[in-house]
Structure 1
């Protein structure tokens, strides 16, 4: 048997294969039910009605396949777009985090740098100038000033010992000079409150005092220094020395 396809639409290869299959099946059925001459009266023949195909059926099949392909392609495109968007977001988040981390690190570094800036030590305060003790410009004041200097140099002497010898040697006159004894004859007269000659004054001069043998304080301190070296203290002197 042969199936007839009506219409003018051109069949695709798939359509042709389907039609051929149906034709072959119909032929096989006809053979299966064919009767031999001896059986013609006993077994009736069965007729198989051919299946008719139309171009409309074939077009619908193609359209469905195309729709399926289009949907798959669209889904694939959407999936790729979603993946790309996710990757872009990850990169943007990573870049933002790196930027924030760097800003925080820079701020911490700046903070540490400020914290570690050495503080200049304050300039040491200048020691206050010692208050100069006031002494009276008389014998009492000269002896007291000399005693303070002698004490700072560890040279022994006392107020009474100094005053006693001053009064015997010069009666308290700082400009007194001896121009008649042996020292005067030798050209080195005794001078000042405690009548000391120039060579002895220079040899026993006490630092911090004047180099003038007529200066009352310088004269007393040099004479006491000499007496301490020769007699142990001016207190031990009771006559010419």
Structure 2
């Protein structure tokens, strides 16, 4: 076997190990970064609260809505609200649908649970904002509507 061919084995092995180590390091970077980012996000979110004392994030908005719903006798659970919010707006309180039949008719769906203005106004719950983009008002009005139409937001598994 020529001398050049004999040296390829160790070099090839070293190159393979170097590539594998680099790949492992690259894979580990997002995990390290994500851990740090999650901790920073949690710390920031935990310090911001609503006037009612709930965290000013999706979890807090759902919990505040549930407290209002309990006072008003509107059924619904955290899981039912969360499931529908994620389907309708992915948790974005400023979401607006500008392409469906409601939008074509001039009444786009708005907010976390994508209510149209007439539905929001008809099912608005006293003590909440009249702004359909207000997360707590939007959740509470949508849950009030779902209770009247389907018995509870928990019974809604698609567009409603």
TM-score by length of 2: 0.68
Which digits, 9 at most, give the CA deviation of each residue in 1:126-169, with x for residues without a partner?
xxxxxx74100000000000000000000000000000000000
Equivalent residue, structure 2, for 1:143: 62
Out of 186, 206, 211, the residue aligned to residue 125 of structure 2 is: 206
Distance 1:187 1:164 in 2: 27
Following superposition of structure 1 onto structure 2, how do residues 66-145 of structure 1 map, counting pairs within 5 Å? 133-145=52-64
Q: Does 1:169 align with 2:85?
A: no
CA distance in 1, matches of 2:94, 2:52: 24
CA distance in 2, matches of 1:134, 1:230: 31
Structure with bigger RCO (C-alpha 8 Å, 6+ apart): 2
3-state SS of paired residue (2:96): coil
Cα RMSD (Å): 0.8
Match of 2:141 among 222, 226, 230: 222
Give the TM-score normalised by structure 1.
0.45
Gaps of 5+ in 1: 1-131
Question: How many Å separate the matches in 1 of 2:61 and 2:95?
Answer: 15
Q: Would you tell me which structure has more helix in proportion to its own residues?
A: 2
Q: Spell out structure 1 runs of 4+ moving beyond 4 A.
A: none
